[in-house]
Amino acid sequence: MILDSKNGLPLYYQNIYLSLLHKQKNKSFNTVLRNAYTLIAFENYLIESNINLIERIRAKTFLSFTEIYTLSERLRVKNKKEKVINIKEYKKINQENLHYRLTVISSYISWIYESYFSTAIYETNIILKSVNILFRKHKPKLNSQFYLNNDFKSLEKESLDILLQCIEPESQYNPFVDISCRKRNQLIILILQETGMRGGELLNLKISDFNKEKRYLKVCKRVNDPADPRVFQPLVKTFERELNISKKLSMQISSYIDNERSFYSKSLNHNYLFITQKSGPTEGFPLSISAYHKVIKQISRIEFNGVSFQNFTGHCLRHTWNYIYSLKYIGVTDQYRLTQLDRIRCVRMGWKMNSKTALIYNNRYISEETLKAFEEADLVNNEIINKIEGEIDESINVRKLLGVKSKRQQK
């Protein structure tokens, strides 16, 4: 909730807009929070510029080109305190942030206008189109190159093995004190790692979503669930689906339900799988989003033999799952099999079929395969050069070395 800094009262339009994002449009907590920060920055700009947005909307004047330019310049810089700035990183972050913030503000203005003039549909559509065009002129262009960079969010196999080793309940590197919390938090990481599900999907799991006999977890959408006492209910952004799990993970989930979870009496009042185990008024309640992030932050402080997890997030494991899954593609040339693998990924991740989202989650794999292709090409070139003695050695099958099929083979 956004409050007025002067009188402490909630800001009317901003909070209704955020509520609609959360309740009706099924936006995640992080998305709503990001929108809230943008609306706060926009409100501060309006106050400092002495602009009454509601009066502008009533008069159908909105913001001028110059005002939007000034706004975009204010939103552009994220942090001026750093003395040394990585230019590439700086440009990338601010380009994306600026584009996103201007999109949020444009949508917010359009929503207010639609609320005032909902009856004049034709005129409203024309005006909103002009507003979007005006904002679009100030949005930086986002090139596809931003999706393929060296900022890998997935863990390397060695790092993943170390992480799983350190979160063992008996490990001396486990950052949690209570053995019950250690077991719960280990289970959180294991589910994220094995299924690749999102954090919101994890917190949304109920005991009834777990099938011990058939060994699967069901991801369901529960918007505005009356049984959920959390102020910010975790939301499922992807499609509903059933995720097969290993026998070992199934046994660990069952053990957690029968032992750690059942110890807390308030957990009997709801069916959510993960609960708050810290003593207090919310003990036994469903695990909150903020509590989940605290768990992840604590895990990110693990250091083992020079390996640090300072940039670790729960979402890293979704990227890691996709990287490991992509290794199945190695050596596969049959188009039908490749299509099958793509479809399985989309179903597993809860994406629509033929989704391009996999490109975002496959930075590490794509970069490794690209590097491998260049290395193989270098080997071919070196072999050709080494065998050339005044003339080309016709015994070298260059097409075969490069893996290029002839037209006859392609048929």
What does 222-261 look like in DSSP terms, one character per residue?
Answer: -TT-TT---SS-----S--EEEE--HHHHHHHHHHHHTTG
| Residue 360 domain flag | no
Question: CA-to-CA distance for 51 and 36, rounded, in angstroms?
Answer: 19
- Give residue 369's pLDDT: 65
Q: What is the DSSP letter of 294?
A: H
Domain that holds residue 19: 12-142
| Residue 351 domain flag | no
pLDDT for residue 142 is more than 90: no
Please tell me whether residues 254 and 382 are part of one structural domain: no
- Give residue 187's pLDDT: 98
Average pLDDT (1-20) is 85
Please tell me whether residues 179 and 307 are part of one structural domain: yes
Please tell me whether residues 129 and 163 are part of one structural domain: no
Q: What is the DSSP letter of 7?
A: T
**CA dihedral defined by 289, 295, 297, 303, rounded to 10 degrees?**
-160
Q: Rounded to 5 degrees, what are φ and ψ at 271?
A: -110, 5
The residue among 102, 117, 142 that closes a domain is 142
Please tell me whether residues 162 and 307 are part of one structural domain: yes
- Give residue 104's pLDDT: 93
| Residue 329 domain flag | no
| Residue 324 domain flag | no
Write the pLDDT tens digit of every residue in 229-245. 998 889 888 999 999 99
pLDDT for residue 411 is more than 90: no
The residue among 319, 352, 387 that closes a domain is 319
Residue 330 CB burial class (10 angstroms; 0-12, 13-18, ≥19): exposed
pLDDT for residue 299 is more than 90: yes
Top pLDDT among 384 and 196 is at 196
Please tell me whether residues 23 and 108 are part of one structural domain: yes
Write the pLDDT tens digit of every residue in 63-99. 888 998 899 888 886 644 444 444 444 444 467 888 8
Please tell me whether residues 166 and 298 are part of one structural domain: yes
pLDDT for residue 145 is more than 50: no
- Give residue 245's pLDDT: 95
The 210-211 sheet, strands edge to edge: 210-211, 216-219, 241-244
| Residue 134 domain flag | yes
Please tell me whether residues 206 and 299 are part of one structural domain: yes
Please tell me whether residues 255 and 313 are part of one structural domain: yes
Residue 200 identity = G
Q: In the chain, how many domains are there?
A: 3
Average pLDDT (380-406) is 51
Q: Rounded to 5 degrees, what are φ and ψ at 308?
A: -115, 150
Please tell me whether residues 137 and 279 are part of one structural domain: no
Categorize the per-residue pLDDT at 57 as very low, low, confident or very high, splitting at 50, 70 and 90: confident
Q: What is the DSSP letter of 260?
A: T
Map 319-335 to HEC letters.
HHHHHHHHHHHCCCCCH
Please tell me whether residues 252 and 296 are part of one structural domain: yes
Give, in order, the Cα–Cα distances in Å from 234 to each of 26, 143, 199, 231, 336. Answer: 10, 31, 8, 9, 37
pLDDT for residue 345 is more than 50: yes
CATH number assigned to the domain comprising residue 234: 1.10.443.10
Of 267, 248, 247, the C-alpha closest to 206 is 267
Report the SS3 class of residue 170. Answer: coil
Residue 395 CB burial class (10 angstroms; 0-12, 13-18, ≥19): exposed
Global confidence as pTM: 0.72
| Residue 330 domain flag | no
| Residue 331 domain flag | no
| Residue 177 domain flag | yes
Please tell me whether residues 229 and 119 are part of one structural domain: no
Please tell me whether residues 172 and 119 are part of one structural domain: no
